Structure formats: C-alpha cells, structure tokens
C-alpha cells in the first residue's frame, strides 16, 4: 500500500489528524470568549496528533516493527489503523455536532433552560 514509496495508511492518518484539528479549532472558536483562549490550540494540537496518529496508527506501527512482518498482518493492521482513525474523526465530529445543538431531543430535555429561553411567570 504505497504510492511513490509513501505508505498510504500514513496519508489517511495525516488527513484525519488535520481534519480533526480543524473541527477542534471550530469548536474552540465557538466556545472562546476572549482572544487569549486561542492559546489552548497549543495544547490541542499535540493532543490531537497523539490521539489520531499515534493512537489509531498503533496497530500498524507495531506490525512494522516486527522482525519479519507478514504481508497479511501488514494489510490487516493498516485496515485496523484506518478504521480506528475514522472512528476518532467521527467522535471529534460528534463533539462539534453536539455543541451546535444537533443532539437528540431527550438529551436537550435534561438540560436546564438558558436565561433567554425562560418564560417569566405572570404577575
């Protein structure tokens, strides 16, 4: 699984990492109340990298570092890593959807109403 001697599973890992970081940036922008809150991106980037690339890519990294990896093991580990990366990106995207209010109705009913949604009692 190489294109010009570049492992394609790494390309998927990098794409997931950048897309996940973009989603987290959008979430932080929605939540930040002051410009200084953008400094949180200095922590978010390495954490997101570790979660998406190192965590999801662990099966393939382990298989590559075996003394004599079998081709089938390499293919299976690459597919597992891509599946884990897709799951990680799905989780990250769900966080943004949750923040935007696209939660199930049951979850919204459990929350306390915001001050603008409260109805004043009649006098």
Domain ranges of the chain: 2-117
Give pLDDT < 70 ranges for the chain. 1, 102-123
What is the distance between the alpha carbons of residues 47 and 87, in angstroms, rounded to a whole number?
16
- Chain centre to alpha carbon of residue 67: 32
pLDDT at residue 113 in the model: 56
Q: What is the pTM of this model?
A: 0.70
């Amino acid at each position: 699984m190489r294109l010009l001697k570049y492992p394609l599973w790494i390309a998927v890992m990098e794409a997931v990492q950048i897309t996940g970081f973009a989603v987290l940036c959008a979430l932080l922008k929605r939540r930040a109340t002051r410009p200084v809150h953008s400094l949180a991106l200095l922590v978010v980037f390495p954490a997101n990298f570790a979660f998406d690339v190192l965590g999801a890519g662990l099966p393939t990294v382990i298989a590559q570092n075996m003394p004599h990896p079998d081709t089938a093991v390499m293919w299976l580990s690459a597919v597992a890593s891509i599946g884990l990366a897709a799951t990680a990106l799905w989780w990250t995207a769900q966080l943004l959807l949750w923040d935007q209010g696209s939660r199930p109705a049951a979850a919204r009913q459990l929350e306390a109403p915001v001050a603008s949604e409260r109805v004043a009692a009649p006098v």
